[in-house]
Structure 1
Amino acid sequence: MKILDVLRKDAIIVDLKSTEKKGVIEELVVPLAQSSGADPADLVKVLMERERLGSTGIGGGIGIPHGKLKGLDSLVVGFGLSRKGVNFESMDGRPTHIFFLLVTPENSIDIHLKLLSRISRILKNDLLKQRLRNAKTSEDVLNIIREEDESF
């Protein structure tokens, strides 16, 4: 599965406003709730519960908040970019700028892990991360990911 198979243009936010973890998650779930029909509060709750187990700020300016939601029909993926950076309690203690948000149906463990793995793998590319940080539009983000997605 490619990232662009599930990341929709309307789920990309290239200028997140929030400066704290919960606010970023609340911003990122808005388009996902609209497209999936899920309650935004339920999405935020499941993602914040996962954050309490350990931060999904993996370091290197990357955060991948994720969770599983009962009653969700299909997986939803969002992307966000914080120009200033957010204290996301990352492993390296540095600000987080690039966010991929992933919520899957409760029983979709396999697809959840495969997509998390794919996102993590492409984000090991420092040039890709820099290009994403410099993206100005959702179309820019899609094009950057498309180039990387096709090379796997």
Structure 2
Amino acid sequence: MKWHDFLVTDAIIADLKATDRDDAIIEMIDALIANGAAPADLRDDLIQQIVEREKHGSTGFGKGVAVPHVKHERIEKMAAGIGVSQKGVDFNALDKAPVYSIVLLLSPKDKPDEHLQAMENIFSNLQKDTFRRFLRQSTTREEIEDLIQEADAQQLTG
């Protein structure tokens, strides 16, 4: 599975305004909803589920990256947004460092295999120092889209 299979490019936020975890989640959920990735009436439920999950264990896995995610029965198609913060977000990450790059994934509850494939793609890219560095340095949606296209192309050859 490649990024273009689930990334909502109009839900890429190159300059997140939020400085704390909950506000960052809200900002990203709002971008996904605004671009048709989820029904507007799910907003509060999705935010609550993701924040609840974060309270039990942060998805900020270190190195300036977090991957909050939720499976919901009313999500019909997997969708992700990317947020880049220039200031850093306190995500209670495992390494206690601020998070600069966030990938938020919404998945249909009845498609766990697709969810795992998307998570595998996200994590395999975020494990790469160069990908993380370029993502963090991106200041426009276009730069992030170019990086994602390059990652998808490398997946074909790698």
TM-score by length of 2: 0.91
Runs of 4+ in 1 over 3 A off after TM superposition: none
Letter of the structure 2 residue corresponding to residue 51 of structure 1: E
How far 1:68 moved relative to its partner? Answer: 0.7
> Equivalent of 1:106, from 102, 106, 109?
109
Change (3 A) 1:62 1:37: closer
Structure 2: where are the runs of 5+ without partners? none
Q: 1:75 and 1:143 mapped to 2: Cα distance?
A: 21
User: How far, CA to CA, are the matches of 1:111 and 1:37 in structure 2?
Assistant: 17
- Match for residue 90 of structure 1 among 93, 116, 134: 93
Which residue matches 1:9? 9
Note closer, same or farther for the CA distance 1:112–1:37 as it changes in structure 2 (3 Å cut): closer
Contact 2:11–2:31, Cα closer than 8 Å, also in 1:
yes
2:120 partner letter: S
Distance 1:150 1:30, change over 3 A: same
Q: Aligned equivalents of 1:72 and 1:49: distance in 2?
A: 18
Q: Aligned partners of 1:37, 1:136: CA distance in 2, in Å?
A: 26
Matches within 5 A, 1:56-71: 56-71=59-74
Unaligned runs of 5+ in 1: none
Task: Supply the RMSD in Å over aligned alpha carbons.
Answer: 1.1
**What SS does the aligned partner of 1:68 have?**
strand
Equivalent position SS for 1:22: helix
* Amino acid across the alignment from 2:10: D
2:37 equivalent in structure 1: 36
Measure the CA separation in 2 of the matches of 1:76 and 1:47.
15
Q: Distance in 1 between matches of 2:85 and 2:62?
A: 14
Moved more, 74-83 or 124-133: 124-133
How many Å separate the matches in 2 of 1:133 and 1:55? 20
Aligned residues of 2:6 and 2:118 also touching (Cα < 8 A)? no
Q: How far 1:37 sits from its partner (Å)?
A: 3.9
24-33 or 3-12: bigger deviation: 3-12
Give 1:53 shift: 2.2
Per the TM alignment, residue 141 of structure 1 is displaced from its structure 2 partner at its CA by 0.3
Q: How does 1:104-143 map to 2 (within 5 A)?
A: 104-143=107-146
